[in-house]
Amino acid sequence: MNTLHFKYAVEVERTRSITQAADNLYMAQPNLSKAIKELEDTIGISIFERTPKGVVPTRKGAEFLNYARNILAQIEKMESLYMPENPNRQCFNISIPRGSYIANSFTKFVSELDMEKEIDMNVNETNSMQVINNIVEHRFNLGIIRYQTVYESYFLDYLAEKEICYDPIWEFEYLALMSKDHPLAAAEEVHYNELNKFLELVHGDTVVPYITSVEARKAKEQPKAKRRIYIYERCNQFDLLTHIPTTYMWVSPIPNELLKRYELIQRKCHLANHKYKDLLIYPKGYKFTTLDKKFLDKLYESKNEVALREYK
């Protein structure tokens, strides 16, 4: 049984497409299909089936893929333990929330790489549950999750169940982000009952693990804007905020250079349960690389830049 075939199968599961997986693996589609068929013949089950939602695992296939991911992760750990870092190759991967100070730290990190050496990096902006799943499924070594502090026990319990380690980055209160031309931009103090009259932008894929029906009802009882646009990509928020001055968004503190570039401002607006926390997460037993540590240095630099600023 060839463990390279495990890698092929895991990539098909991730992309839900033979064609896309073949592109990602830099191989011809017929060759990938043949490799998957050989693997299925070897283990005696059908790993995948075709559905309207793409190529998805069968029940037995899902069990097999879980073992395959664990085996690949163990091989990767052995390689990291017993093989020295390649000084000519710069590898790094991380899953992050849609936070501008985090993205800014990555930009600064990349700016200091040696451009004469190989660079292999993967950054995935997504919601916290997907960040956790990326670690569990061994797709990424590092992750940053963000959650409301009112839901902290749910996330910490979930991390413990998945045997994921974590380090707190910081706790902060969301700020209202808006155009400098927003009708409330000149107000000495922004009140939510006024802000709520305008068009809110929201990242639309937030998920909380283990949330009960009671807690879900409490969440629904929180004030909610009557006009909302759900978005899933961070750059869209800046375009909308800049070009539609009646929009606003709740975000973590943003670096000054981005505020200036998009002609935006941030304002305090006190609201119940609007405190959030960012955590760095990683697999149990994970050994931080030299590049991991360099990124974390830039991360905390960016955090300090926005955390120490005074906000109106």
pLDDT of 205 reads 77
| Alpha helices (runs of H) in the chain, residue ranges in sequence order | 3-15, 18-24, 29-43, 59-82, 100-111, 128-136, 152-161, 192-195, 213-221, 234-243, 256-262, 290-307
pTM of the model: 0.73
CA atoms within 13 A on the CB side of 287: 11
CA dist., res. 202 & res. 237, Å (int): 9
- Paired tokens of 108: 């600064």
CA dist., res. 164 & res. 161, Å (int): 8
pLDDT of 53 reads 79
| Segments of the chain with pLDDT less than 50 | 213-214, 217, 220-221
pLDDT digits (tens, 9 = 90+) for 217-240: 455 445 566 789 998 877 789 999
Q: Are 33 and 9 in contact (CB under 8 A)?
A: no
pLDDT of 69 reads 86
Q: Which residues are 206's β-sheet partners? A: none
Taking alpha carbons only, the member of 312, 197, 196 closest to residue 265 is 312
- Describe the chain by its helix, strand, coil percentages, rounded to 5: 45, 25, 30
pLDDT of 71 reads 87
pLDDT of 277 reads 96
Taking alpha carbons only, the member of 90, 106, 89 closest to residue 144 is 106
pLDDT of 208 reads 77
pLDDT of 220 reads 45
- Paired tokens of 111: 């700016």
pLDDT of 86 reads 67
pLDDT of 87 reads 74
CA atoms within 13 A on the CB side of 142: 22
CA dist., res. 93 & res. 183, Å (int): 41
CA dist., res. 206 & res. 216, Å (int): 13
CA dist., res. 229 & res. 102, Å (int): 23
